[in-house]
Amino acid sequence: MATVTRPGAPAGPGVRRRTHPVKVDIARALPLTPAIVLLLVFLAGPILWCVYAAFTNTALTGAGSGNTRFVGLDNFRAAFTSDAFANSVVLTLVFTLLSAVVGQNLLGLALALLQKRSVKVVRTLVGITVIGAWVIPEVVAGYLWYAFLAQDGTFNEFLGTFGLGQNWLYTLPIIAVSLANVWRGTAFSMLVYNAALSEIPAEIEEAAEMDGATGWRRLRWVTVPMIKRTVTTNLMLITLQTLSVFGLIYTMTKGGPGTKSQTLPLYMYEQAFSFSQIGYGTAIALVLLAVGAVFSILYMRLLRED
């Protein structure tokens, strides 16, 4: 494993990888070109433009449409002092916490644990149903839940027998969309935890059982510590997915009534496309990207910690 020291190359005692002359590197990296071009043009480009436009007054109509100029931190200042922005940040947090971290994650784990102890018929049928909810397109899921929770929908018919019927989409819209998102996304966590649980060696659980650890204690001290890595990774992934949910909320409530279910993606859409405030819209997009990036970095850290 001789290290070839070249000017500019980060060589040293720490570098143990075999390095090639630059020419070979380039020739071998050639098949990567189409991917790099596409990623640069359609992914890196827009992100960079996002960073630029967030500091301008770019707009499709009005003052910013004719002469675009730098406005510094104005967009961010406007966002951070705006009630509507604060409202959507809070709603995004509520939506993410409720539907992803608590709902999908815990229900997914519970389903995976329960399925392990269920008979095959129950396990298979429930698995198919939950996965079915995950496979159907976002917009269809939105309609299903609109119908289910509407004033004269199935849910109220059931609750009506207890005198609890109400128009959930108007009274508790953020809870309604969170429920729909739990319904739609739980399959992912369930599959992830199914895979993780199946990898726990039977002998370990068996040994814990022999030592007298039963039920909750076995779950708390044996099972959960063994799948800890999967739990954190799953939390990261579903958090990121939930942060950018748009179609489901848009079909169910359009962010309404008023702004009662307007999460950040919907607020951004309204500002950028309905009110044509592209500059302000990209500033919000940048906040969303930054939040996503923070989670991505945490996720990568976790993957590297092996």
Partner 1 sequence: MTTQTNAPVVATGTTSSTTGRGRGPRTWIVSLLANGVTSVIGLMFLVPLLWVVFAAFDSQAGLRLELPSGSTFGLDNFRAVMTPETTYRPMWNGLVLCVGSAAIAIVVATLAAYPLSRFETRYKRPFLLTILFSTGLPITAIMVPVYGLFVQLNLIDTLGGTIAFMATTALPFSIFLTKNFMDGVPITLEEAAWTDGASSMQTLRHIVLPLMWPGLSVVLIFTFIGMWGNFFVPFVLLLSPDRLPASVSIFTFFGQYGSVQWGQLAAYSVLYTLPVVLLYVLLSRRLGGAFNFGGALKG
Sites for partner 1 among residues 99-118 (CB under 8 A): 107, 110-111, 114-118
Q: Does 228 bind partner 1 (CB under 8 A)?
A: no
- Cα–Cα distances in angstroms (integers) from residue 1 to residues 11, 16, 19, 25, 79, in the given order: 13, 7, 10, 18, 55
Among 79-87, 94-102, 127-135, 165-173, the segment contacting partner 1 (CB under 8 A): 127-135
Query: What 8-state DSSP symbol labels residue 71?
Result: -
Nearest to 133, CA basis, from 196, 197, 189: 189
Site string for partner 1, 68-87 (x = CB under 8 A): --------------------
- Location of structure tokens 């409720």: 98
> Is 133 exposed, middle or buried, given 0-12, 13-18 or 19+ CB atoms closer than 10 A?
middle
Q: Does 282 bind partner 1 (CB under 8 A)?
A: yes
Q: Considering beta carbons, is residue 82 or 118 the nearer one to partner 1?
A: 118
Residues 181-210 that bind partner 1 (CB under 8 A): 183, 186, 191-192, 194-196, 198-199, 202-203, 205-206, 209-210
Q: Does 278 bind partner 1 (CB under 8 A)?
A: yes
- Location of structure tokens 């992100």: 47
Helix (H, G, I), strand (E, B) or coil at 118: coil
Q: Does 166 bind partner 1 (CB under 8 A)?
A: no
- Cα–Cα distances in angstroms (integers) from residue 267 to residues 46, 96, 103, 172, in the given order: 19, 16, 24, 18
Q: Does 58 bind partner 1 (CB under 8 A)?
A: yes
Q: Is omega for the bond preceding 137 within 30 degrees of 0, making it cis?
A: no
Q: Pick from 101, 244, 256, 259 the residue near partner 1 by CB under 8 A.
A: 244
Q: Does 275 bind partner 1 (CB under 8 A)?
A: no
Q: Does 236 bind partner 1 (CB under 8 A)?
A: yes
Q: Pick from 4, 29, 63, 73 the residue near partner 1 by CB under 8 A.
A: 29
Query: What 8-state DSSP symbol labels residue 6?
Result: -
Q: Pick from 106, 125, 159, 164 the residue near partner 1 by CB under 8 A.
A: 125
Minimal distance, residue 67 CB to partner 1, in Å: 16
DSSP assignment string, 274-287: IS--HHHHHHHHHH
Q: Does 164 bind partner 1 (CB under 8 A)?
A: no
